[in-house]
């Protein structure tokens, strides 16, 4: 196996690992740009993954699994909205509560329904989102470099992977080229300006949270129906938090969010790849160090290299009409 093949292999797994991060980070982008901090990405993803696994296991259809995941994640998002928009509660507390509810209830329901220790039954190929072969992938695979890149790197991913990457330009377009995006950005910076312009702050923020719900549902579906064959307890494993780090790292902008997620995904893929291999000069690195690398990198880069990441100004503050 030459260097090039190794690299393609590494980048291929980078893409696979990055997708749930990317979907979750874009989900967080909608919510946080509207001024609602969302630490509950993790919980919504987990709830979505469980719903997808359970529904697909019962019905055998990945599409029903996806619908269930989106429904559950949107529901959890609306709970967050009800607490933090309608009742002006603390957004961090509400988000953490959603994480706890998701972590606990998925295991309890999983055990009650499927009696497999909190996991959902293993899914067959038909109940999952399988790999899509792009046209000519087979015939081009022998062409050196370009063919290899096309058929091994670009082709052969599940539908959700392509959707996730298409969502990056789409989100940019929504944010900067539509009326909804303009208002969304405005309400995250100065809700009073939106209110006096005759637009409902609450309804705008609810719509942003619905977007967040849909995307976290998609992220959960990817974990349960694409990357794995069913739901496993705690399968999100902190991805919701890494997604938040990526969001901060990218200063709440869609295209940098993609690169941040790819970077974190790459570190993850690299860590798996070099496990047990000795590196020149460094020797064998402990796996924990590699796992910690995305976090360390976030702290270092935020502290010194990319300048201050300034969150949307109204983020975290419930909107109250002033006298």
Partner 1 sequence: MGNAAIELIGIDKSFGSGHANRNISLKIPAGTIHGIIGENGAGKSTLMSILYGFYQADRGRVCVRGEKAKIETPSDAIALGIGMVHQHFMLVHNFTVLENIILGVEGHSLLGSSISKARSELQRLERDYGLEVDPDAVVEDLPVGLQQRVEILKALYRGAEILILDEPTGVLTPAEADHLFRILRQLKEEGKTIVLITHKLREIMAVTDNVSVMRQGALVATLKTGETTVEELAELMVGRRVLLRVEKGPSAPGEVLLSVTNLSVKDSRGVTMVDDISFDLRAGEIVGIAGVAGNGQSELLETITGIRKAVSGTVTLDGRPIDLTGAADPSELRARGLAHVPEDRHHMGLVLPFDESENSILGYHRQPKYAKGLFLDMDAIRDDAVEKIGKYDIRPPDPRLRTANFSGGNQQKIVLAREMEQDPKVLIVGQPTRGVDVGAIEFIHKRLIEMRDRGKAVLLVSVELDEIRSLSDRILVMCGGRIVGERDATATEGELGLLMAGVDEKEAAE
Q: Per CB under 8 A, does 307 bind partner 1? A: no
Q: Does 194 bind partner 1 (CB under 8 A)?
A: yes
Kindly tell me which residue out of 55, 186, 209, 214 binds partner 1, with binding defined by CB under 8 A: 186
Only one of the segments 109-117, 157-165, 190-198, 273-281 lies at the binding site for partner 1 (rule: CB under 8 A); that segment is: 190-198
Q: Where do we find the tokens 């976030």?
A: 298
Which CB sits closer to partner 1, 95 or 191?
191
Residue from the set 12, 148, 152, 189 that interacts with partner 1 by CB under 8 A: 189
Residue selected from 137, 195, 270, 311 as contacting partner 1 according to rule CB under 8 A: 195
Choice between 74 and 186, CB closer to partner 1 = 186
Closer to partner 1 at the Cβ: 88 or 313? 313
Location of structure tokens 């539908």? 159
Report yes or no: 32 and 188 within 8 Å, Cβ to Cβ: yes
317 lines the binding site for partner 1 (CB under 8 A) = no
Question: Which of 81-89, 138-146, 194-202, 299-307 is the region at the interface with partner 1 (rule: CB under 8 A)?
Answer: 194-202
Task: In whole angstroms, give the CA distance from residue 260 to residue 254.
Answer: 10
Least Cα distance to 269 among 5, 1, 10 occurs for: 10
CB nearer to partner 1: give 137 or 174: 174
Calpha distance 135→40 (Å, rounded): 39
Which SS3 state, helix, strand or coil, does residue 132 take? strand
For the CB of residue 179, give the shortest distance to partner 1 in the complex, in Å.
4
131's enclosing H/E stretch is strand 131-132
Of 97 and 186, nearer to partner 1 (C-beta) is 186
Burial class (CB in 10 A: 0-12, 13-18, 19+), 12: middle
**Closer CB to partner 1, 33 or 239, in the complex:** 33
3-state secondary structure of 26: helix
> Which whole-number Å values give the CA distances from 39 to 45, 57, 115, 265, in the listed order?
11, 29, 30, 20
Residue 180 or 259 with smaller CB distance to partner 1:
180
- Residue 71 in contact with partner 1, rule: CB under 8 A: no
User: Is residue 308 within the footprint of partner 1 (CB under 8 A)?
Assistant: no
User: Given candidates 9, 165, 172, 180, which one binds partner 1 under the rule CB under 8 A?
Assistant: 180
Biggest alpha carbon distance in the chain? 71
For 281, the token pair is 């000069």
Binding status of residue 311 toward partner 1 by CB under 8 A: no
Calpha distance 254→200 (Å, rounded): 25
Give the integer Cα–Cα distance in Å for 131 and 204. 37
Which of the ranges 111-119, 153-161, 176-184, 270-278 carries the binding residues for partner 1, by CB under 8 A? 176-184
Q: Is residue 183 within the footprint of partner 1 (CB under 8 A)?
A: yes
Among 96, 199, 202, 290, binds partner 1 (CB under 8 A): 199
By C-alpha distance, which of 29, 31, 71 is closest to 48? 71
193 part of the interface to partner 1, by CB under 8 A: yes
Residue 26 C-beta: closest distance to partner 1, Å: 20
Minimum distance of partner 1 from residue 313's CB (angstroms): 7
Helix (H) or strand (E) run with residue 158 in it: strand 157-158
Q: Please return the burial class of 294, using the count of CB atoms within 10 Å of its CB with bins 0-12, 13-18 and 19+.
A: buried
Binding positions for partner 1, rule: CB under 8 A: 176-183, 185-186, 189-190, 192-199, 313, 321, 323
């Amino acid at each position: 196996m030459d260097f090039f093949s190794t690299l393609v292999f590494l980048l291929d797994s980078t893409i696979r690992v990055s997708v749930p991060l990317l979907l979750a980070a874009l989900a967080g982008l909608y919510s946080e740009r509207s001024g609602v901090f969302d630490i509950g990405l993790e919980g919504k993803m987990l709830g979505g993954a469980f719903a997808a696994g359970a529904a697909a296991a019962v019905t055998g259809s990945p599409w029903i699994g996806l619908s269930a995941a989106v429904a559950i994640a949107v529901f959890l998002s609306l709970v967050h909205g009800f607490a933090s928009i309608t009742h002006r509660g603390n957004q961090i507390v509400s988000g953490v509560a959603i994480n706890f509810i998701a972590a606990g209830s998925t295991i309890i329901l999983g055990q009650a329904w499927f009696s497999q220790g909190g996991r959902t039954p293993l899914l067959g190929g038909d109940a999952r989102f399988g790999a899509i072969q792009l046209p000519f992938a087979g015939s081009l695979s022998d062409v050196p470099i370009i063919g290899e890149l096309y058929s091994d790197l670009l082709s052969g991913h599940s539908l959700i992977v392509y959707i996730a990457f298409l969502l990056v330009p789409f989100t940019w377009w929504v944010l900067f080229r539509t009326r909804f995006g303009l208002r969304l950005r405005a309400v995250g910076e100065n809700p009073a300006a939106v209110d006096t312009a005759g637009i409902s702050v609450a309804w705008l923020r609810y719509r942003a949270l619905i977007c967040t719900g849909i995307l976290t549902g998609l992220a959960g579906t990817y974990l349960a129906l694409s990357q794995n064959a069913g739901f496993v307890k705690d399968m999100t494993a902190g991805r919701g938090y890494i997604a938040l780090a990526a969001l901060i790292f990218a200063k709440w902008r869609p295209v940098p969010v993609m690169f941040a997620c790819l970077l974190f995904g790459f570190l993850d893929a690299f860590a798996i790849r070099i496990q047990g291999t000795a590196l020149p000069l460094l020797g064998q690195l402990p796996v924990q160090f590699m796992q910690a690398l995305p976090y360390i990198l976030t702290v270092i880069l935020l502290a010194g290299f990319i300048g201050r990441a300034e969150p949307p100004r109204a983020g975290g503050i419930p909107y109250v009409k002033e006298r």
